[in-house]
Chain A
Amino acid sequence: MSLMAGTLHVVEYNALVFRRIWRGSIAVSFFTPLFFLAAMGIGLGSLVNRSSGGVNGVPYLEFLAPGLIAAACMQTAAVEATYPILAKIMWDKTYEAALATPVTIPDLIRGEVVWITIRMFIVASMFWIVMYLFGVGHSLESLLVIPAGILTGLAFATTIMAFTATRRNDSGFAAINRFVIIPLYLLGGTFFPIAKLPLALQVLAWATPLAHGVALTRGLVLGNIAAPEAALHALVPVAYFAGGLLIARALLMKRLAK
Chain B
Amino acid sequence: MGDSNSLILARQLTKRFGDLTAVDGIDFEVAKGEAFGFLGPNGAGKTSTMRMIGGVSPVTSGLLTIFGLDPAAHGPTIRARLGVVPQADTLDLELTVRENLMIYSRYFDLSWREGARRADELLEFVQLKERSRDKVDELSGGMKRRLTIARALINSPELLLLDEPTTGLDPQARHLVWDRLYRLKQRGVTLVLTTHYMDEAEQLCDRLVVMDKARIAAEGSPRELIDKYSTREVLELRFPIDQQPVLDGKLNDVAERIEVLPDRVLLYTGDGDQAIAAVHRQGLRPETALVRRSTLEDVFLRLTGRSLVD
**A96-154: which residues lie under 8 A (CB-CB) from chain B?**
96-104
Beyond A16-B103, A257-B57, whether A97 also contacts B92 by CB under 8 A is: yes
Is there contact, CB below 8 Å, between A101 and B88? no
Closest to B82 in A: A100
Distance of A102 Cα from B92 Cα, bound (Å): 18
For window 79-119 of chain B, which residues contact chain A by CB distance below 8 Å?
Answer: 79-80, 82, 84, 86, 88, 90-95, 99, 102-104, 106-109
A-B contacts counted at CB < 8 A amount to 64
Whose C-beta in chain B lies nearest to the C-beta of A96?
B90
B103 A12 Cβ-Cβ under 8 A? yes
Closest Cβ of chain B to A23, distance in Å, is: 17
A13 CB contacts on chain B under 8 angstroms: 103, 106
A94 on the B face (CB < 8 A): yes
Chain A residue nearest in CB terms to B80? A102
Residues 68-111 (chain A) with a chain B CB within 8 angstroms:
92-94, 96-104
Judging by beta carbons under 8 Å apart, are A97 and B80 in contact?
Answer: no
* A5 interface contact, C-beta 8 A: yes
Q: Cβ of A102 and Cβ of B99 under 8 Å apart? A: no
Q: Residue on B with the closest CB to A256?
A: B56
CB-contact partner of B93 in A92, A98, A103, A257, under 8 A: A92
Which has the most chain B C-beta neighbours within 10 Å: A16, A92, A100? Answer: A100
Number of B residues near A (Cβ < 8 Å) is 29
Q: How far is the CA of A17 from the CA of B103 in the complex (A)?
A: 10
A16 CA to B109 CA in the complex, in Å? 16
The listed residue (A12, A17, A97) touching B90 by CB distance below 8 A is: A97
User: Which partner residue on chain B sits nearest A101 by CB separation?
Assistant: B107
Q: Indicate whether A9 sits within 8 Å of B109 (C-beta atoms), given known contacts A99-B56, A101-B104.
A: yes
User: In the assembled complex, which residues on chain B have CB atoms less than 8 Å from the CB atom of A1?
Assistant: 76, 80, 109
**Is A50 an interface position by the 8 A CB rule?**
no
**A104-B107 contact in complex given A17-B94, A92-B92, C-beta closer than 8 Å:** no
B37 within 8 A of A: no
B75 at the interface (CB under 8 A from A): yes
Least Cβ–Cβ distance between A222 and chain B, in angstroms: 42
- What does the 1/0 interface line of A1-26 toward B look like (CB < 8 Å)? 10001000100110011001000000
Return the contact of A100 from the options B84, B91, B106 (Cβ within 8 A): B84
Least Cβ–Cβ distance between B37 and chain A, in angstroms = 20
Closest A residue to B56 by beta carbon equals A99
Known: A12-B106, A16-B103, A98-B107. A104 touches B76 (CB 8 A): yes
Given A9-B109, A94-B92: A257 and B80 interface contact (C-beta under 8 Å): no
Which B residues lie within 8 Å of A16 (CB)? 95, 99, 102-103
Q: Report A53 CB to chain B, min CB distance, Å.
A: 52
Shortest distance from the beta carbon of B186 to any chain A beta carbon, whole Å: 24
**Which residues of A sit under 8 angstroms from B76, Cβ to Cβ?**
1, 102-104
A148 to chain B, nearest CB (A): 32
Asked if residues B95 and A102 are in contact (CB atoms below 8 Å), the reply is no
Ordered by A's residue number, 15 sampled pairs between the chains whose C-beta atoms are within 8 Å are A9-B106, A9-B107, A12-B103, A20-B94, A92-B92, A92-B93, A94-B90, A96-B56, A99-B56, A100-B79, A100-B82, A102-B76, A102-B79, A102-B108, A257-B58
Besides A13-B106, A16-B102, 14 more A-B contacts (Cβ < 8 Å) are A9-B103, A9-B106, A16-B99, A20-B94, A92-B94, A96-B56, A97-B90, A100-B54, A100-B79, A100-B86, A100-B90, A104-B75, A257-B58, A258-B57
